[in-house]
């Protein structure tokens, strides 16, 4: 039995305080995922907290044979993020917009500008690509975990991540070449 399963058994046996170990273990990546998907830190915190509370409330129904606890937890948080994003903007976005060259000719590209450009490009990605990319490239989840979280095939996950990376690199390449 892994560490998370042991903690869950203890919580189910009545030791509620042990749930804190799970919170402290996954708060970083969970909040990070919500923050990158939603953008707003306050809403991201709400999503992360709601996901932990939902996990606690449904701990009895959690089946370790179906998925790891982290995968189950991320699924709940991801669904909440998508609900928020769907309320805010259309599901399918256009291609990453080309920005006009506003920099002084010959000016060297600085890190902050490059990072801002990548942040914008990430925000402009279609939701499916964005979530897959954030889970894999920023939160470091395995493709197997992402397959469970997203509920799609492995090939679809790989395709979404590859397209997202290509768009981000193209966006950055445009800025680099223009600098």
Chain residues in the site for other proteins (CB under 8 A): 16-17, 19-20, 23-24, 27-28, 31-32, 35-36, 41, 45, 48-49, 52-53, 56-57, 108-109, 111, 114-115, 118-119, 137-140, 168-169, 172-173, 176, 179
CA distance 99 to 118: 12
CA 111 to chain centre: 23
Closer residue to other proteins (CB): 85 or 114: 114
- Least distance to other proteins, CB of residue 83, Å: 20
Residues sharing a CB contact under 8 Å with residue 37, sequence separation 6 or more, in sequence order: 44, 78, 81, 82, 85, 130, 131, 134
Closer residue to other proteins (CB): 86 or 173: 173
- Least distance to other proteins, CB of residue 21, Å: 10
Residues sharing a CB contact under 8 Å with residue 97, sequence separation 6 or more, in sequence order: 124
Closer residue to other proteins (CB): 23 or 82: 23
């Amino acid at each position: 039995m892994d560490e998370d399963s042991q903690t869950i058994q203890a919580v189910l046996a009545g030791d509620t305080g042990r749930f804190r170990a799970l919170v402290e273990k996954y708060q970083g990546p969970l909040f990070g995922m919500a923050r990158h998907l939603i953008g707003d830190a306050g809403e991201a915190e709400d999503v992360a907290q709601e996901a932990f509370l939902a996990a606690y409330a449904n701990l009895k129904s959690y089946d370790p044979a179906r998925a790891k606890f982290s995968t189950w937890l991320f699924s709940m948080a991801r669904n909440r993020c998508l609900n928020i994003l769907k309320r805010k903007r259309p599901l399918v976005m256009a291609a990453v917009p080309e920005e006009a060259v506003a920099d002084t000719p010959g000016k060297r590209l600085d890190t902050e500008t490059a990072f801002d450009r990548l942040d914008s490009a990430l925000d402009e990605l279609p939701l499916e690509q964005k979530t897959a990319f954030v889970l894999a490239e920023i939160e470091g989840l395995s493709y197997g975990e992402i397959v469970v979280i997203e509920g799609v095939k492995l090939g679809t996950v790989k395709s979404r991540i590859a397209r997202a990376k290509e768009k981000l690199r193209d966006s950055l390449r445009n800025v680099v070449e223009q600098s």
